[in-house]
Chain A
Amino acid sequence: MSTNKKELAVAALRNGTVIDRIPSSVLFQAVRLLGLENSKCHVTIGNNLHSGKLGTKGIIKIADTEFPEAVLNRIALIAPTAVVNTIRDFEVVEKKTVKLPDTLSGIVKCSNPKCISNNEPMATKFEVIGHDPVMIRCHYCNHTVAGKDAQIL
């Protein structure tokens, strides 16, 4: 019985958000991007789950929380394959893919130590210059980095 209860606690979400199809290698970066480290809600993280398309995948379930689209779209930086399900009263009311914005502010740290953004108290800013694979360029020093290698602030 207790096993069933545990499974139920993980599987069922009355209200909240389920982010699925995150590549296993970037799951914990996705957790950071969403700022879940400081969340007080129930958060369930699964990794290395079987996926037909990705091989293995990660999944994040956050109870009683819906994210603004701009926050969710940050995930596209590292996991363009991710799918976001919005759950209300046990039903999936919306299912959508993430879409990378044109600019990323205050999310990624520039890898160039001589960049002004690493030497002044200021927000970083990157422009997305490629989608497949994701490439971003620092608005200030013009250094480019692949999305998967981006250092999340």
Chain B
Amino acid sequence: MSSNSLVSISDISRDEILDLLDRARYFEENPNSKILDGRVVATLFFEPSTRTRLSFETAVNRLGGRIIGFSDANSTSTSKGETLKDTIKMVANYVDLIVMRHHLEGAARYATEVTDIPVINAGDGANQHPSQTMLDLYSIYKTQGRLNDLTITMVGDLKYGRTVHSLLMAMQYFNPTFNFIASKELQMPEEYKEFCREKGIKFTESTDFSEDVINASDIIYMTRVQRERFTDIMEYERVKNLYTLHNSMLDNSKPTLKILHPLPRVNEIDRDVDDNPKAYYFEQARNGLFARQAIITRALGIDPRK
């Protein structure tokens, strides 16, 4: 097992998070270099994910590294019945770093236990997706100039949304105040509210996406409400538009407010928000490149700033 692996955001300390953010800042200023010259990175996408894969592969390419891998497990020995362990051990013979996405939860953690090569988790089912969390943190840090003492409002699917859960865990070091806005069916699970209580993190919970909450927020983190999450379709039809953000709702919001969304968006942010300078979701995705360059260089033990 390599200690440079990144499986879950909760594996790394406050200092390591700050170090990654500083690396991301460096890469935003210096996106292209040759610091990965001679290094080979495997991108093993047992489950297709175009956005994440392209972002990781661009990150490696811009740093001068080479890539091997696959974007669909059907074209690999997995379809012949090879175990994950065997696939990882085979690939580890060839490369310096493995970036993997898998539909099974815990796959990346297990991969770290069968190889000494560092492994970066690019998503394991509904479990963890730490590079998304790092790009969210970097986006918050960049737009607010700090991570401490911010009011973050999370809206939409707070029950199943892994991005909001991971962001909540990562923010534990920075004295946040959270507002959880969701319908009864999709509220923040008790274990995360208990986590907040244990850590002394302030939070409010409401089914009402009110202007008071919006006006008090530094960050609004919107998520997609998925139809298939509802047992009662009538309930879905009733709530789907209650958690849609319209431009007019931002009239009295803080000038520094930024709207984040992990994308893809459906109708939870109205198109009329897109031209508001407070809309940040497209730049947020761009920050993924720098956050991933930061994670990759940390995993390889390379410090670009030296």
Chain A positions near chain B (C-beta within 8 angstroms): 112, 114-117, 119-122, 138-144
- Give the A-B pair count, Cβ closer than 8 A: 48
Closest to A119 in B: B104
Q: Cβ of A116 and Cβ of B191 under 8 Å apart?
A: no
18 contacts between A and B (CB under 8 A): A112-B105, A114-B126, A116-B106, A116-B110, A116-B124, A119-B104, A120-B83, A120-B84, A120-B110, A121-B83, A122-B110, A139-B106, A140-B105, A140-B110, A141-B105, A141-B124, A142-B8, A144-B191
Closest to A140 in B: B106
Picked from B83, B85, B127, the residue with its CB within 8 Å of the CB of A142 is B127
Q: Would you call B107 an interface residue if the criterion is a C-beta within 8 Å of the partner chain's C-beta atoms?
A: yes
Chain B neighbourhood of A119, CB < 8 A: 104
Chain A neighbourhood of B124, CB < 8 A: 116, 141
Given A122-B85, A141-B125, A141-B127, the answer on whether A117 and B106 have CB atoms closer than 8 Å is yes
For window 66-118 of chain B, which residues contact chain A by CB distance below 8 Å? Answer: 83-85, 102-107, 109-110
Chain A neighbourhood of B83, CB < 8 A: 120-121
For window 125-144 of chain B, which residues contact chain A by CB distance below 8 Å? Answer: 125-128
Q: How many residues of B contact A (CB 8 A)?
A: 18
Chain B neighbourhood of A112, CB < 8 A: 105
Q: How far is the CA of A152 from the CA of B24 in the complex (A)?
A: 45
Chain B neighbourhood of A122, CB < 8 A: 85, 110
If A115-B104, A119-B104, A141-B124 are given as contacts, then 13 extra A-B residue pairs at C-beta distance below 8 Å, sorted by A number, are A115-B105, A116-B104, A116-B105, A116-B124, A120-B85, A120-B110, A122-B110, A139-B106, A140-B109, A141-B106, A142-B8, A142-B127, A143-B105
Chain B neighbourhood of A114, CB < 8 A: 103-105, 125-126
Given A120-B83, A122-B85, the answer on whether A115 and B106 have CB atoms closer than 8 Å is yes
Chain A neighbourhood of B127, CB < 8 A: 141-142
Chain B neighbourhood of A141, CB < 8 A: 105-106, 124-125, 127
Q: How far is the CA of A120 from the CA of B126 in the complex (A)?
A: 18
Chain A neighbourhood of B191, CB < 8 A: 144
Q: How far is the CA of A119 from the CA of B124 in the complex (A)?
A: 14
Chain A neighbourhood of B109, CB < 8 A: 116, 139-140
Q: How far is the CA of A30 from the CA of B8 in the complex (A)?
A: 34
Q: Cβ of B110 and Cβ of A142 under 8 Å apart?
A: no
Q: How far is the CA of A115 from the CA of B110 in the complex (A)?
A: 11
Chain A neighbourhood of B85, CB < 8 A: 120, 122
Chain A neighbourhood of B8, CB < 8 A: 142
Chain A neighbourhood of B110, CB < 8 A: 116-117, 120, 122, 140
Q: How far is the CA of A114 from the CA of B106 in the complex (A)?
A: 9
Closest 8 CB pairs of A and B: A140-B106, A141-B105, A141-B106, A116-B106, A116-B104, A116-B107, A116-B110, A140-B109
Closest to A143 in B: B105
Closest to B111 in A: A116
Chain B neighbourhood of A117, CB < 8 A: 106, 110
Chain B neighbourhood of A138, CB < 8 A: 106
A139 to chain B, nearest CB (A): 7
Q: How far is the CA of A114 from the CA of B128 in the complex (A)?
A: 13
A5 to chain B, nearest CB (A): 54
B82 to chain A, nearest CB (A): 11
- A116, A140, A144 — most chain B CB neighbours (10 Å): A116
Q: How far is the CA of A88 from the CA of B154 in the complex (A)?
A: 62
Q: How far is the CA of A117 from the CA of B107 in the complex (A)?
A: 8
Closest to B114 in A: A122
